[in-house]
Structure 1
Amino acid sequence: MLVAVLAAGIALYITAHIALIILSPKPMTPTAEEKTFLSASSPTKPQPLPSLSDPASVQLSVVVPAYNESTRLPPMLRTTLAHLASVRPARTYEVLIVDDGSSDSTSAVALTLASAHPKEDIRVVRLRRNRGKGAAVKHGFLHARGERILMVDADGASRFEDLEKLWEEMDKIEKDGQGVVVGSRAHLVGTEAVVKRSLVRNILMHGFHFLLRTFGVGHIRDTQCGFKLFTRTTSQSLFPSLHITNWIFDVELLLLARMLRVPVAEVPVAWEEVAGSKIRLLWDSLGMLTDLIVIRGNYALGRWRPVSVGAGKKVD
C-alpha cells in the first residue's frame, strides 16, 4: 500500500512538472532592435537603451505599455506631462513608451508626441511582435533610468495626479531602498464608478478576486490596477525574475515582493473606465486562471525562484 501511494505521488509530481513545462511561458530574449529607442532628438537613428543595472540618472521613470493605443495615448500623455511639469520641487523624469508590437500607428503617434514636446525626455521603444502587457512592462523596467519607476496604462483610466499619493506613501514605507506602492481601486467597489462600468469588467473583477483568495494570493485587494510605483532597488530584484507576460503579471510581481519581504502598501486612487479595453471576457478569463495555476505551481515546485541581481550585473 505504501509503495502504491509513493508511486502515485511520484507520478503526480512528474505529471505536474510536465504540465508546467508545457503551460509556462517561454523565455523571450530581446532583439538588438528592441534594445534601442527613438526620441525627439533622434527620431530616425535608434539609440541604445540603458540597463536597470546602471546607476539611476533621473528621479522618476514612467513606463507606459501600449498596444494599439494610437487613439488613447495622446490625451493620456498630455495629462501626464502637464502634471509632471507642475510638481514642485521639480523632479527629473523620463517617459518610456513601449509599443507592444502594435498593428496600428502607436509608435508613429508616440514619436509625433515626443517631437511635439522636444524638451521632455520621451523615449519610444517598439517590440517586434505582440508579447503581452507583462512583457512590455518588464522590458520598460529593465531599461528605465529612474530612482523610482512608475507603471501606468496608456488608456488614462487612472488619474495621473495620484502619483503624489503613491510618492508620499513610498517615502513612508521605503526601507533599505526597497518598496512597492500599489494604486488601488478597491475602495470603488459598490460605488457608481464600478456599478455602472461594463459587465465584462465586473465579471472579471469578481471572478478574479475569488480566484486570488482561492489560491492564497489575496493579500492585496487590487492587484490589477495598472498604476504602481517601485523603487529602483526593488525593480532590480523583481523584474528579472518575472515570467508571466500577460494580464496577471502583477500577481507574480506581488508574490515575489512577498517572498523577498519587500515593503508593499496599497493606496486608493481615482479611476474611470475608458472605452477601448483590450480584455476579451472568455479567453482572458481562461488565460488568467491558467496563469494563476502556472504561477503557484512553478513557485511551489521550485521551478521558478527569485533572481538575485548582483551589483553591476546587466539585466536584459
Structure 2
Amino acid sequence: MNRSFRPLSRRAALGALIALGASAAAPAFAADPYPSKPIQLVLPFPPGGSFDPIFRTLAEAASRDLGQPIVLMHKPGAGGVTGTASLATMNEADGYTIAVMHNSVIRAPLVQKVSWDPLKDFSYLIGLAGLTTGIVVATDAPWKTLPELLADARKRPGAVSWGNVGAISINRIYAERLARQAGTSFNLVPYKGGSEAFQAVIGRHLDVYGDPGFGPQVQGGKVRLLATFTAERLKRYDAPTVKELGHDMVIESPVGLVAPKNLDPKIAARLHAAFVKAAADPAYLQQLELFDMQPKLMTGESYADYARAQFERDRKMLAEIGFKPE
C-alpha cells in the first residue's frame, strides 16, 4: 500500500465536489442562449409622439421572436440626441441595451461639441423606415397654402413662429433654408417632442410646425397640411411638395436601431433577424402608414455605410449655408 496516499476528509471531499460542479456549470452558463433577460430599447424622445406607438408595436413583435420582453425607455434631450448618445459611452455591449438612431445623432458632431463619434461608437443593427416631414398649421390658421404663408412671412420677418423638435434637426435647418430662399426669417422654436409641438400649433400658440408625425393630426382635422419635403406627393393628401412649389428641398430621414460599439456579431445577427421579422408585422406596418413613414429595411452594414455618407452630405450642406457649430 502506498502510504503517501491519504483519504480526503469529508470537508475536503465536499469542497472538491462543489468546485467540480462549479467548473462543470461554468461552460453551460457561458453558453446560455441570447437573450436570457429583457432588452431595453431607448427612445430618445418624450412619450406621446409618433415614435411611441411605432416602436412599441415593433418591440412587441420582436419580443415574440426573441422570447424576452423589449422594454421601451424614454430618454429625451437635445432634440432626440441624448438618449441614443448615452449608448456611445457604455463600456459593455451585451445586446441588452439598444436605441433608436436617426440623422440628428449622426449630424451632432457637426453642429455642437460632443465627446463621442456616431461613426465609431455604435454597432449599427438595422435600418427600418423613412420619416416624412410636412409643414402644418392649425385648421383655423389664415394660411391655406405655403405660398400664402411665405408671402405673409416676407411682410413680417421673424414674426411667424415655426416649431421643430430639436435645434439641430434637419427639419429645423431646412426651415431656415426655406426662409432664406423666400427672403424672410422665421421665429424658430425648438420643442422636446411632437406631442408638445402639436398641442401648441393646434392651440394657436405656435404658427407652423415642420416635422414628421403629422398624419393622425391631419386625418383628425386638427391641422392643415400645406406641403411636404418629399420627392413626390403623398397619395393620401392633396398637398404639394416643397420642391414643386419652387424650392429644391427634399428631406430623406431614415431611422433604425443601434447598440454600443463592439457588439458580438452573433448577437447583432440575432437582433437583426428578429427585427427584420418584426418589420413585416401587420400592426407595425399599420402604424408606419398612420404616421406616413415608408418601410426601408437596411442591413446593419448598409445602415453604417449610409451613416458615413450622410455625415459627409451634412458636412457639405452645413458649409454651404454657412452654419457654425455651437
Larger-gyration structure (1/2) = 2
Query: What TM bracket, shorter-length normalisation?
Result: under 0.3
TM-score by length of 2: 0.26
Structure number with higher relative contact order (C-alpha < 8 Å, ≥ 6 residues apart): 2
With normalisation by structure 1, the TM-score equals 0.27
